[in-house]
Amino acid sequence: MSAIFSLAGKRALVTGANTGIGQAIALSLAKAGAEVICAARSSAAETLELIAKTGGKGQAISLDLSDPMSGQSAFAEVAAVDILVNNAGIIRRADSIDFTEADWDDVMDVNLKAVFFLSQGFARAVLQRGGEGKVINIASMLSFQGGIRVPSYTASKSGVAGLTKLLANEWAAKGINVNAIAPGYIATNNTEALRADAARNQAILDRIPAGRWGDPEDIGGAAVFLASPAAKYIHGAILNVDGGWLAR
């Protein structure tokens, strides 16, 4: 691998690394040379096995971000981390007229509050040791669009986009890059029902210029780029990885 894209000697922490996009990001970072700390509330054994099969290095820690402050201690429990990927997220669906306070708070806690306080803990650790760091947040197409029946998810992902820019403004001159990836429709367990609905699946494909659903590895490649020296002058960007959906 070209040195400009190499993550050799770096250590990355990926939240929600047990499945889907998080797993793909963890695996991609490991293939690029990083040691990956797989943080999840359930077992990340499968991800670690995949990393090991590629000859990469990884470890797992338990992290339940339904308590958004639980990540404050994460960077005291592991060796110095150079890359933070805030991937963990949840979604709740209901008409806005019926949406509950619990569903609002649960989503905002995981998708936005935890992202801020994990990033804060990471930045404090990086600055304390006088190093450099990369924060990669996982935004969404709903950072730009409204969607329907997902008010707290849309609000949280819009917040992630804004927070990415704010933290970039504050930390760019201190050696910390903060950027985000906005995935499009990706073929994961979370979208299985949509893909199984023939009419809905076709409607989605008709809107995507690339003519296909994204693979989790598509997001992994974008994460490697933003974590690498190739992206050293990129700050506050939200990289759409959506097959052209937002350009339509």
How far is it, in rounded angstroms, from Cα 125 to Cα 107?
27
Of residues 16, 244, 241, the one with CA closest to residue 140:
241
Catalytic site residue from 75, 122, 153, 185: 153
233 annotated active-site: no
Catalogue the E-assigned strands of 115-163. Answer: 133-138
How far is it, in rounded angstroms, from Cα 8 to Cα 2?
11
How far is it, in rounded angstroms, from Cα 89 to Cα 191?
14
- Say if CB 217 and CB 224 are below 8 A apart: no
Beta bridge partners of 14: 38, 85
Give the residue numbers marked as catalytic: 153
